[in-house]
Amino acid sequence: MSDYQQPGLFPDELTVGQRVRIGNTDVIWNKPAIGYTGVIVDVKLAGTAKVPYYHVKLDEAIGGIRTGWFRRAELRQES
Protein backbone atom coordinates (compact mmCIF):
# COMPACT_ATOMS: atom_id res chain seq x y z
CA MET A 1 0.00 0.00 0.00
CA SER A 2 1.33 3.42 -0.92
CA ASP A 3 2.27 5.97 1.71
CA TYR A 4 1.55 8.76 -0.79
CA GLN A 5 -1.63 10.06 0.85
CA GLN A 6 -1.74 13.73 -0.14
CA PRO A 7 -3.29 14.19 -3.61
CA GLY A 8 -2.54 17.58 -5.13
CA LEU A 9 0.69 18.01 -3.17
CA PHE A 10 2.69 18.09 -6.41
CA PRO A 11 1.09 19.85 -9.42
CA ASP A 12 2.38 17.37 -12.01
CA GLU A 13 1.95 14.28 -9.88
CA LEU A 14 1.53 10.84 -11.38
CA THR A 15 -0.71 8.19 -9.87
CA VAL A 16 -0.85 4.42 -9.54
CA GLY A 17 -2.11 2.84 -12.75
CA GLN A 18 -0.81 5.55 -15.08
CA ARG A 19 1.33 4.58 -18.07
CA VAL A 20 4.71 6.30 -18.23
CA ARG A 21 7.82 6.42 -20.40
CA ILE A 22 11.33 6.76 -19.00
CA GLY A 23 12.53 10.00 -20.48
CA ASN A 24 15.34 11.49 -18.45
CA THR A 25 17.56 8.65 -17.26
CA ASP A 26 20.53 7.51 -19.30
CA VAL A 27 21.30 4.25 -17.51
CA ILE A 28 19.55 1.96 -15.04
CA TRP A 29 21.21 -1.21 -13.80
CA ASN A 30 24.05 -0.42 -16.25
CA LYS A 31 21.67 -0.62 -19.23
CA PRO A 32 20.24 2.17 -21.45
CA ALA A 33 16.74 3.01 -20.17
CA ILE A 34 15.38 6.02 -22.09
CA GLY A 35 12.25 5.12 -24.03
CA TYR A 36 11.15 2.13 -21.96
CA THR A 37 7.50 2.19 -20.90
CA GLY A 38 5.54 0.77 -18.00
CA VAL A 39 2.80 1.26 -15.42
CA ILE A 40 3.11 2.89 -12.00
CA VAL A 41 2.32 0.30 -9.31
CA ASP A 42 3.21 2.26 -6.15
CA VAL A 43 4.35 5.68 -4.93
CA LYS A 44 6.48 6.29 -1.84
CA LEU A 45 7.67 9.51 -0.24
CA ALA A 46 11.41 9.34 0.42
CA GLY A 47 14.05 11.37 2.18
CA THR A 48 13.72 14.30 4.53
CA ALA A 49 12.02 16.35 1.80
CA LYS A 50 9.41 13.60 1.29
CA VAL A 51 9.92 13.55 -2.47
CA PRO A 52 7.70 11.08 -4.38
CA TYR A 53 9.39 8.06 -5.94
CA TYR A 54 7.38 6.01 -8.42
CA HIS A 55 7.60 2.20 -8.58
CA VAL A 56 7.18 1.28 -12.25
CA LYS A 57 6.53 -2.18 -13.66
CA LEU A 58 8.21 -2.09 -17.07
CA ASP A 59 6.67 -3.57 -20.21
CA GLU A 60 10.09 -4.99 -21.17
CA ALA A 61 12.90 -6.05 -18.89
CA ILE A 62 16.06 -3.94 -18.64
CA GLY A 63 18.96 -6.27 -17.99
CA GLY A 64 16.57 -8.93 -16.68
CA ILE A 65 14.81 -6.55 -14.26
CA ARG A 66 11.17 -5.57 -14.81
CA THR A 67 10.57 -3.03 -12.03
CA GLY A 68 12.32 0.06 -10.77
CA TRP A 69 11.95 3.18 -8.64
CA PHE A 70 12.06 6.52 -10.44
CA ARG A 71 11.85 10.20 -9.55
CA ARG A 72 9.20 12.35 -11.25
CA ALA A 73 11.79 14.10 -13.42
CA GLU A 74 12.77 10.74 -14.93
CA LEU A 75 9.25 9.91 -16.15
CA ARG A 76 6.98 11.18 -18.92
CA GLN A 77 3.25 10.52 -18.88
CA GLU A 78 2.06 8.41 -21.80
CA SER A 79 -0.91 9.74 -23.75
Q: How many CB atoms lie within 10 A of CB 20?
A: 21
Looking at residue 11, its pLDDT comes to: 55
Structural domains of the chain, count:
1
Angle CA(67)–CA(1)–CA(50) in degrees, nearest 5?
A: 80
* Percentage, residues of the chain above pLDDT 90: 27
pLDDT of 2 over the 70 cut: no
pLDDT in tens, 9-34: 555 678 899 999 988 766 666 677 78
Q: DSSP of 3-53, one letter per residue?
A: ----TTSSTT---TT-EEEE-S-SEETTEE-TT-EEEEEEEEEETTTTEEE
pTM for the model: 0.77
Q: Does residue 60 sit within a domain?
A: yes
Range of the domain at 60: 19-77
49 part of a folded domain = yes
Task: Specify the pLDDT at position 44.
Answer: 92
Helix (H, G, I), strand (E, B) or coil at 71: strand
